[in-house]
Amino acid sequence: MRLKLVKLLFLIFVVFNIGLGSYGLAETSEARYAEISREMVTSGDYFHPTLLNIKHYHKPPLTYYITSLGYKIFGINEYGARFFLGIALILQILLVYKIAELLLNDKQKAYSAALIYSTFPVVLIAARNLTTDAYLVTFVLWSIHLWVKFKKQNKKLFLYGFFIAMGLAFLNKGPVGFIPALIFIVCYKYFNKEKVNFSINIFLGIILMLGISASWFIEIIVKDDKVWNYLIHEQIVNRATNADQFHRTQPFWYYLALAPALGLPWLIFIISMFTKNVKKDWKNKDVLNVVILSSGYLFILFSLFSSKLILYILPMFPFLAIAGAILLEKVTEVQLKWFTGSYYLLYAILFVALLVITFVPVIQMNLLINIGLLLLTLGIVIFYWKFCKQNSISNLLQLGIGFICVLMLFHTAIASKNPESMNSIKEIAGFIKQEKGNKLSSLLVYDYLLPSASFYLNAEIITISNTNYNTFRETQFEDNLNYKENLFNIKTAEGLQRIKNRILEEDQVYMELKKNPLPDSLSYLLTHFTHKVEKDKWVLYY
């Protein structure tokens, strides 16, 4: 079983890394994390994250540190930014296996849980985009694994390890890092009828966890006490209860609508199987109840939060993967047939999509790669249809792995050739370099925060702020007024005069969105430029 797991991890890691650096950084989240980490490496300041040279305290710094390490090893490029996401993905799959093995005492079910987790679309979405979420789930799973190991073996080392992992989860994304593991522990104790026991080791562990959690915050707050109120009120309370100001507020049913797609096709199977046997399963009070209830509570809690993004519910999927592995043993032959058929349907949809893309001129894709993916998709289906035992659980799981591997390759092929659809300016940055070369002194971006411009261009990036909330920066932590050289608010007389003076300088490029141009009253400023080029959704003047 260990050999099979190693083969699985190796396959996923290899496929994950194919073309990982071939597609540009996606705006806004991925580009933001990549650029903050780049500025850390170039400045050498690892305590005060900056974005376009303005202090950025929205998140604790652990994701930036991990990304910075990628830059140190592979250079400042897309591959360096994303490399450790692949490591995080492999660790997540391994930890799901380890946790399931400890809880179920069954290597086959543990392997099935690892396979199921590997095939959740949301897991791959998180691993292919640089954000905090993939790393958060890795630390959460690490903490749960150490806690369960402590419960099974009663070794203090694992208990202290649990608190260390919890502290690192906090350093990755703040208080939300505590929630998944604590919910799991409460559910575990409830179904196992365990009392809450407090000991000196738990007390010391909590002190250790809080020390790790607070380490960066203390350093920042000591130097500027305004940060404390900002972190607590703006980044924790308001994100949970008043996300309107972040433009992330969504209705309660937001995740209810998205979850089936994020967990296809396993989530539908897990829900249908559990609801069918819910009365019998609930009376057993076994591991299935623990993981189902843990995922359910997480789902409800994140639905109650005002701020919602699709990757926020990622921590519930490891529990669902373990639930799926348990429920597989209860599947009937008819159900297995239908579920296997659902994967063949997904392969068919993918095959048709690859075929259609060949004849759609607006979507660019390398013809040889497209043919290769078509043959690979068809080959996997034919192989399992003709040569493998039909409607077996093993066949079903392997079909899932094959599908997700082809999907990763498909994503890479599309993303590398269609930067606009991926919301990347890599191609535009290449055009600017080609036209201006080393003569580019600055890039002026109108009413849009564009971190990847700084990542790709060795030039000063100036944000011209007007109505877009993303361009309103937190400047209260700046020690001087130097930030005004890179941020012009044209709603103020000072900012308007600055842009009028700056735009007349030589060797710079001005960018604006087609749908959001400079106001007509200021359009005369653009007559200074001799060239106008439309690229994707952008208009460039130089």
Element (H, E) at 461: strand 460-465
Taking the C-alpha atoms of residue 19 and residue 417, their distance in angstroms, rounded to an integer, is 11
Residues 244 and 356 in one domain: no
Taking the C-alpha atoms of residue 185 and residue 294, their distance in angstroms, rounded to an integer, is 9
Question: Rounded to 5 degrees, what are φ and ψ at 518?
Answer: -60, 140
Q: How buried is 59 (Cβ within 10 angstroms: 0-12 exposed, 13-18 middle, 19+ buried)?
A: buried
**Which of these ranges, 41-55, 156-170, 357-371, has the smallest mean pLDDT?**
357-371
Supply the pLDDT for residue 307. 85
- Cβ pair 185, 205 in contact under 8 A: no
Taking the C-alpha atoms of residue 159 and residue 150, their distance in angstroms, rounded to an integer, is 6
Residues 471 and 531 in one domain: yes
**pLDDT band, very low/low/confident/very high, at 234 (cuts 50, 70, 90):** confident
Residues 188 and 259 in one domain: yes
Residues 120 and 227 in one domain: yes
- Cβ pair 324, 263 in contact under 8 A: no
DSSP lists the bridge partners of residue 511 as 445, 540
Residue 413 in this model has a pLDDT that exceeds 90? yes
Mean pLDDT, residues 261-280: 84
Supply the pLDDT for residue 273. 85
Taking the C-alpha atoms of residue 1 and residue 111, their distance in angstroms, rounded to an integer, is 7
Residues 342 and 301 in one domain: no
Token reading at 36: 């903050």
Residues 39 and 133 in one domain: yes
Supply the pLDDT for residue 457. 94
Taking the C-alpha atoms of residue 169 and residue 149, their distance in angstroms, rounded to an integer, is 18
Taking the C-alpha atoms of residue 381 and residue 345, their distance in angstroms, rounded to an integer, is 10
Supply the pLDDT for residue 504. 85
Cis before residue 61, ω within 30 degrees of 0? no
Element (H, E) at 314: none
- Cβ pair 41, 76 in contact under 8 A: yes
Domain boundary among 283, 306, 328: 328
Amino acid identity at 170: F
Residues 118 and 43 in one domain: yes
DSSP class of residue 129? Answer: S
Residues 269 and 380 in one domain: no
- Cβ pair 426, 495 in contact under 8 A: no
**Which of these ranges, 238-247, 286-295, 352-361, has the smallest mean pLDDT?**
238-247
Mean pLDDT, residues 222-245: 71
Taking the C-alpha atoms of residue 340 and residue 323, their distance in angstroms, rounded to an integer, is 18
Domain boundary among 328, 345, 379: 328
Domains identified in the chain, total number: 3
Residues 398 and 468 in one domain: no
Who has greater pLDDT, 75 or 226?
75
Token reading at 476: 């209260």
Supply the pLDDT for residue 239. 67
Residue 25 in this model has a pLDDT that exceeds 80? yes
Residues 20 and 94 in one domain: yes
Domain boundary among 373, 392, 417: 417
Question: Rounded to 5 degrees, what are φ and ψ at 445?
Answer: -115, 120
Residue 506 in this model has a pLDDT that exceeds 80? yes
Q: Which range of residues forms the domain containing residue 382? A: 333-417
Mean pLDDT, residues 401-419: 96
Supply the pLDDT for residue 222. 83
**Share above pLDDT 70 across residues of the chain, in percent, rounded to a whole number:** 95
**Which of these ranges, 205-214, 272-281, 413-422, has the smallest mean pLDDT?**
272-281
* Angstrom distances, CA of residue 177 to CA of 2, 169, 180, 285, 315: 30, 5, 7, 27, 10
DSSP class of residue 488? Answer: E
Supply the pLDDT for residue 439. 87
Alpha helices in 174-277 (DSSP H): 179-191, 200-223, 226-229, 238-241, 254-262, 266-276
| Radius of gyration of the CA atoms of the chain, in A | 25
Question: How distant is the alpha carbon of residue 517 from its chain centre?
Answer: 31
Mean pLDDT, residues 349-365: 92
In angstroms, how far is the first alpha carbon of the chain from the final one? 61
pLDDT digit string, tens, across residues 457-491: 988 999 999 999 999 999 999 988 899 999 999 99
| Residue 517 CB neighbours (<10 A) | 14
Token reading at 511: 């960018």
Cis before residue 527, ω within 30 degrees of 0? no
Taking the C-alpha atoms of residue 173 and residue 312, their distance in angstroms, rounded to an integer, is 11
Mean residue pLDDT of the chain comes to 92
DSSP class of residue 250? Answer: -
Supply the pLDDT for residue 35. 98
Question: How distant is the alpha carbon of residue 481 from its chain centre?
Answer: 34
Supply the pLDDT for residue 74. 98
Residues 267 and 151 in one domain: yes
Supply the pLDDT for residue 281. 60
Residue 280 in this model has a pLDDT that exceeds 70? no
DSSP class of residue 517? Answer: P
Residues 222 and 104 in one domain: yes
Q: In terms of DSSP bridges, do strands 508-513 and 538-541 run parallel, antiparallel, or are they unpaired?
A: antiparallel
